[in-house]
Every structure is written in C-alpha cells, then in structure tokens.
Structure 1
Amino acid sequence: MDRNRGWDIVDVLREVAARHGVGVPRVALAWVLARPGVTSVIVGAKRPDQLAENLAAVDLVLTEEDLAELDAVSAQPVPYPDWGQGRPADRLPLPS
C-alpha cells in the first residue's frame, strides 16, 4: 500500500472538487462513473446529507482536464515483467 500515492490522489480530488464547488466524495464517485465499463458504484452513508452528496455524483460532469489529472495521478505503475514491453523509450539500448 502506497499511502503517499493515496494522499496525492486525494489532493487532486480536492482541487477538482474546489473547481466545481462540490465535495470530494461527489468528485470521486463521478470519476469512477466516468470510467469505461463502469455502470454503477456502491455508496455508503450514515446520514441523509451524505447519501444526497453521493447520489448527486450522477449529475456532475467532469471535464476532460479533470479526468486526465485524476487518471494521471492514480495510474498504476506497470508491473514486472510487463514493464519491459511496449515502452521502447524507457529501455536501455542494446549493446552493439
């Protein structure tokens, strides 16, 4: 678990939320819903106001910039052995 990476994601979620004038939970759920192939999310709330905030995520339209920032900060590193394939710019040159 990479806690620093998690906090980096939260920082970007806060920035996006501030731009839209909404709470972080709404942005997080809208971001998940904007992912290809995701048709629903599981929400949890103890209070009616939390439930209302979560449900309002379906009406939040994130910009391409928002999505790009969130996707970039949350991108998983490519694991071994896949990291050596498909990224020639990152590879060392072959000896001559």
Structure 2
Amino acid sequence: MASTSWEPMELTRGTPVVLPEEGPHAGAGVVTRMRAIDLIVGLATEVITARSILAEEADILHEPQGSIVMVIQRTYSGDRPVETAHIDGHAPFSKSLNPTR
C-alpha cells in the first residue's frame, strides 16, 4: 500500500505532532494526534475508486503494470480539514458468491 497524507502546517507547526512519525505521538492516527493539540476531528470522508496502477506505484508496490488498484481519498475535518490522504493499494481479493460453499 502506498499512502501520501497532507496536514495543514498552520495547524501543526510548533506542536508535538508536526512530524507524524516522530515525537511523543509517533505513528498515532490523525484523530489521536489532533486531539493531542486540542483539535477535535468530527468527520471523515472517503471516496473509494479503482483504476489501473501508475508506473511509479507499480514500482513501489512491486506489482505488474496493468494491475488494478483501489484508491481511497480520505479527508478528516473538524471546523476545517486537518488531513487529506491519498491511499493506493493492491491486494488479492476473493469473495464467494455462493454462501453455501
């Protein structure tokens, strides 16, 4: 899975959460990290689509050209957006259409 996230620097600059993978809240989710600086996240919006993999993504994900990836565009917000993420993923998917099997 490849993910790119954006957080407004005017919200996080000078706080313990400015670098999501460093500091006292390293690796915590955006809701937890924003709560640590007194920002309450009240809404998460996701748009999920599928498309052909891009060349750069194929290299990162070690998948062949022509693979289909699921793309999740996610925005968290309180009074204003606090994070937007673009997530590309490729994973085997299997679903039985016959529940008796």
Q: Output the TM-score relative to the length of structure 1.
A: 0.24
Structure having the higher helix fraction is 1
Q: Specify which structure has the higher proportion of strand.
A: 2
